[in-house]
């Protein structure tokens, strides 16, 4: 980019030796000739030689090119700060350092602010040569293009290039955005196919399953979403941690979409013994109870439900101590904000057991209760279980 001045000087030298029809398009050449003839005023036609006319045309052409050079110089100077920081203008599998990524972000911000669609699009294409593996820039490109009027097909092409060629499927975020775009365009079947393709390559990917269930709910109702969760919970390719998260999402659907908190609560209660060490499950269970609307009359009953979850975490779960401690901290905050007159006593006791010195700490009362262990063994040995014990657990009952 910095060679433009040298190229222009060489061009000016070469232009002196080339015929005019090689230097200017016919319409520009005709325009310059007409302007020169009109400027002659009262000079009789034919009194000027062709050589004189050509000389004047060459002067005008040189001035014309000089104006172009001046504009180029101005625009180049404005961009030179960003251009000089580009250390790798080609694609490579190794990662770019944060300075390079930051420079591309600032350069794109600048070009978008300049307002030229063609220049911004060209810069995005340049950027994605270098940053092809960074879905951040693909999603930014798609978002910018979607803001331009009448560019739906261009947005689709951006998503297709990113999903089919460049961004590894191990990072499915760009593919999920592509699915949302197709859903917006009323191509729901394609959106579903995109989700299925991701799950084919990454069985048990929680975010994709949740996205698929929500897509199905939007276009098929609650039962369609639950069917997605059932299918995944029946799959031997989903590990127990994935299934724990999906059960929690199932309960959220029953609560937030169907509006039946009791059904959601039963899902949590009936399935808690299958997932004693699942942080997402126990976090979702506790947050579900904490977020229930209450009044002065119903708060005591809700307190008992919340306390029961905490007791189950301490007595029946096998969460890591740090995970259990975080959940207990949420409960302690609840006691201070919504607890009764006896809350301070319980808070002090918990604070000692959770935050006190090791000699008085007692975060978990037992790593895994005998009852929970027995249920796990019975469930694995049950002849009615629809899963192999080593790969799965029964589908939750609603």
| pLDDT for the residue numbered 396 | 53
pLDDT tens over the chain, length 398 residues: 568 888 989 998 998 889 988 888 999 989 888 888 777 666 666 667 778 888 888 898 999 999 999 998 889 889 999 999 999 999 999 999 999 999 999 999 999 999 999 999 999 999 999 999 999 999 999 999 999 999 999 999 999 999 999 999 999 999 999 999 999 999 999 999 999 999 999 999 999 999 999 999 999 999 999 999 999 999 989 999 999 999 999 999 999 999 999 999 999 999 999 999 999 999 999 999 999 999 999 999 999 999 999 999 999 999 999 999 999 999 999 999 999 989 999 999 999 988 888 887 777 665 444 444 444 444 433 333 323 223 334 455 55
Dihedral angle computed from the Cα positions of residues 360, 366, 367 and 372, in that order, rounded to the nearest 10 degrees:
-160
Give the chain's radius of gyration (CA, Å). Answer: 34
Q: Which long-range contacts (CB under 8 A, 24 or more apart) does 99-102 make?
A: 100/130, 101/131, 101/134, 101/136
Between helix 4-15 and helix 50-83 the angle, nearest 10°, is: 170
| pLDDT for the residue numbered 358 | 82
Q: Is the four-CA dihedral 330, 336, 337, 340 of positive or negative sign? A: positive
Residues in CB range of 248: below 8 A, 6 or more apart: 268, 280, 281, 284, 285
Q: Is the four-CA dihedral 254, 260, 262, 263 of positive or negative sign? A: negative
| pLDDT for the residue numbered 365 | 62
The domain locations on the chain are 281-291+299-367
Sort 151 into a burial class: Cβ within 10 Å, 0-12 / 13-18 / 19+.
middle
| pLDDT for the residue numbered 360 | 78
| pLDDT for the residue numbered 1 | 58
* Cα distances (angstroms) measured from residue 316 to each of 78, 131, 215, 370: 65, 48, 35, 8
Q: What is the pTM of this model?
A: 0.77
| pLDDT for the residue numbered 384 | 33
Alpha carbons 277 and 284: distance in angstroms, whole number: 13
Q: Which long-range contacts (CB under 8 A, 24 or more apart) does 114-119 make?
A: 117/148
């Amino acid at each position: 980019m910095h060679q433009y001045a040298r190229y222009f000087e060489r061009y000016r030298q070469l232009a002196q030796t080339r015929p005019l029809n090689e230097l200017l398009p016919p319409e520009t050449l005709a325009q310059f000739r007409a302007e020169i003839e009109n400027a002659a005023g009262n000079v009789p036609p034919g009194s000027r030689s062709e050589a004189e006319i050509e000389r004047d045309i060459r002067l005008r052409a040189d001035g014309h090119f000089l104006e172009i050079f001046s504009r180029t110089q101005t625009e180049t100077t404005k961009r030179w700060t960003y251009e000089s920081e580009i250390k790798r203008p080609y694609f490579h599998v190794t990662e770019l350092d944060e300075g390079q990524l930051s420079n591309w972000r600032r350069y794109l911000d600048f070009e978008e602010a300049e307002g030229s669609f063609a220049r911004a699009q060209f810069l995005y294409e340049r950027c994605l040569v270098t940053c092809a593996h960074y879905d951040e820039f693909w999603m930014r490109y798609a978002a910018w293009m979607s803001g331009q009027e009448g560019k739906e097909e261009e947005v689709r092409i951006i998503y297709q290039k990113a999903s089919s060629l460049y961004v590894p499927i191990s990072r499915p975020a760009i593919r999920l955005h592509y699915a949302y775009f197709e859903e917006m365009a009323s191509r729901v079947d394609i959106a579903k196919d995109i989700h299925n393709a991701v799950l084919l390559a990454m069985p048990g990917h929680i975010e994709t399953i949740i996205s698929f269930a929500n897509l199905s709910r939007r276009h098929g109702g609650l039962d369609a979403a639950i069917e997605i969760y059932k299918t995944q919970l029946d799959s031997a390719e989903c590990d127990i941690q994935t299934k724990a998260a999906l059960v929690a999402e199932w309960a959220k659907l029953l609560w937030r979409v169907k509006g039946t908190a009791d059904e959601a609560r039963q899902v949590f209660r009936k399935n808690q013994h299958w997932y004693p060490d699942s942080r997402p499950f126990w976090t979702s269970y506790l947050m579900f109870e904490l977020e229930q609307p209450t009044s002065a009359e119903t708060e005591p009953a809700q307190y008992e439900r919340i306390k029961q979850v905490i007791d189950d975490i301490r007595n029946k779960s096998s969460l890591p101590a740090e995970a259990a401690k975080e959940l207990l901290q949420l409960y302690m905050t609840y006691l201070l904000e919504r607890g009764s007159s006896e809350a301070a006593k319980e808070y002090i006791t918990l604070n000692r057991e959770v935050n006190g010195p090791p000699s008085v700490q007692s975060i978990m009362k037992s790593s895994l209760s005998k009852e929970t262990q027995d249920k796990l063994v019975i469930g694995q040995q049950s002849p009615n279980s629809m899963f192999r014990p080593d790969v799965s657990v029964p589908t939750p009952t609603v």
